[in-house]
Structure 1
Amino acid sequence: MTEPPAPGQSGPELPTPELPTPELPGLDLGRLAAHLGTGPLTGELIPGGRSNLTYRVTDGAHRWVLRRPPLGHVLATAHDMTREHRVISALAGTAVPVPAVELLCEDTDVIGAPFYLMEEVPGQALRHRDQCPWLTPDKARALSDRLVDVLADLHAVDPADVGLTDFGRPEGFLTRQVTRWGKQLDASRSRELPGIDELRDRLGATVPRSARATIVHGDYRLDNVLVTEDPVDISAVLDWEMATLGDPLADVGLLCVYWNGIGAREDDPVTGTVPTLPGFTGAGEMVRRYAERSGADVTDLDWYTAFAYFKLAVILEGIHFRFTRGKTVGAGFDQIGHLTLPLVRQGLAATAGER
């Protein structure tokens, strides 16, 4: 299967330490401390995530990052901690920068959901221009190139070399993706969305033939990597919840959508405005660099871009669905629902070859 269901094994109920710990939505620090055998823990929700939840946790001597699924309305197979843990572990030692993973816990009695711990890596996810006053035009260009090169390096990894030959089914990948995201749409449908079914039908009728199969990240973008300042570099690629084996151009099309902005908004709440700073290369130049590095034929990239608009529209509609039911933690979620229809319109334009 491309994305097997998330495990949910039960286990013994863990005692809670006598010392009180601050409340943190989605993470019981007392139970986590008991499970890890540490002293009292403190933690904080790392802002910016729109799906799986990410926390910074410490016992005073050690620091970790914890990932768990969202609090409610979890679509089947969409938030599998085991798969994230597996792909990050497999990529350790390759040219793709990833954090070291420390622990996978499938026992839902600990914090109420499966989770994993990984090392805290230096660097920051760049989402807003005011985060990076140090980003000169030369550094911005270097970061643009590095972002493309890391993606090409990921697509160059042979799944057999890292034990991921059974991580997905590349045959028929694109057709299944259109079907899968259509089902995700239906599972989160709570309002009228003019044009989204037409976009799904156009994509399904014009699926291109995949030239090759690789490990794909599934949500590769600037704010899903950690960036260091001096020297400017990518220290880790994060958020592997959608990773599988499939057509690498799906990653390229999605990167272009994120790079060009969502709904032509200056206050983009999804990817921020960092790529609008002086020095960053345009999406077209990034595609050319990727093609040179990977040898890929990017002739049919319009379809992949249109599919990326559709996929992102479905993801945001799912987040909007959870937000309206009070099942999502963090700031900015009240704006997410306004982006779905602009994405649908851009996707329809891309299917017609309009950029």
Structure 2
Amino acid sequence: MEKKSWRLCSWMESSLPIMGMVLAVTALAVNMIISKIAMSNGTSFFIISVYSNALASLILFPCGFLFNSSKRPPLTFPILCKIFLLACFGCLADIGSYAGIKNSSPTLGTELLNLVPGFTFILAVIFRMEGLNLRRSSDISKCLGTLILIAGASIVTLYKGPEILNKVHPVDPHALLSASKQNWALGGSLLAFAAFSTAAWSIVQTSILKIYPSEMAIMALYCLFVTTQSTVVALIAEKDLDAWKLQAEMGLVAVVYAGIINITFRLYMMTWCLSRKGPLFVSLFNPLTIVVSVVIGVICFQEVLYLGSVVGALILVIGFYAVIWGKAKASKMDKNSQVDNTTNVESTSHEVPLLQDKIEEV
């Protein structure tokens, strides 16, 4: 009985990160669909960004600064500047994502999320955070995967193709996602820009965590800075003060869901899984967002599924896993080289005293 209970506990413990990431990607896909419906009903995506991040700040600040204050490292001005820069990229990614979804569809938004690993690899090479050696198969895989990602993104952005599931019926009030005006090229460009901003966000976040390893405090300050920045952008972009009133019910639902579920819960869940399984494990769940978004959009909201989306999604997934495979192989090679170096150092340290003993005997 003890062995069975131990195995059950071990299985549940190993399954929790998997369930956590499934919940995280589901939360993201549902947020894109709810936001699309709210924007189709007249809610401004600038206002959704402001209110949702403000709500997340109210939730995260007590958790980030009132609890575990003794374990938190001191907060300095350079760290605040880096978190502010992090928020700039987060604000661009947030607004770019909402604007892209408004002009296209949640399915395209989830498909272009797969550009993030490729953009991250390019930025890491530019800022010398990662080496590039075309003689190594891992680096070749990452380069080819990045090119495949760009090709897939171009297909889903520039080519719609025939309708596979559902058809556009503007008269049908239930076709909330399909009836709104769409500009596929503009929406795809904005979503690609949001993916690039997300990649830059991950680069800056990595540098911050090295000097300030307090995830909850960083998230709290991050949401506060994003709220401030998005408010400034919204005041400039939205001339009509009535836009700040959430008159439509879906607008309020979008704000509450985005603030509590998409930002607070999803970011914390991803951080929790990241600390236990690493970035590779978290990245592997990105393509699942496409599946969740397509299933919910097509079945529940009669979203139109185009051939270009299916073909482009398949190419994006291939490129995504090529980059991830290259990263996994490179990290494995680095670990093996570190082990070899440690072994050499240990063998040298054992040999030196023996030589010294021989010299002393002479």
TM-score using structure 2 length: 0.26
Higher strand share: 1
Bigger Rg, structure 1 or 2: 2
Higher helix share: 2
- Structure with the larger RCO, 1 or 2 (CA within 8 Å, 6+ apart): 2
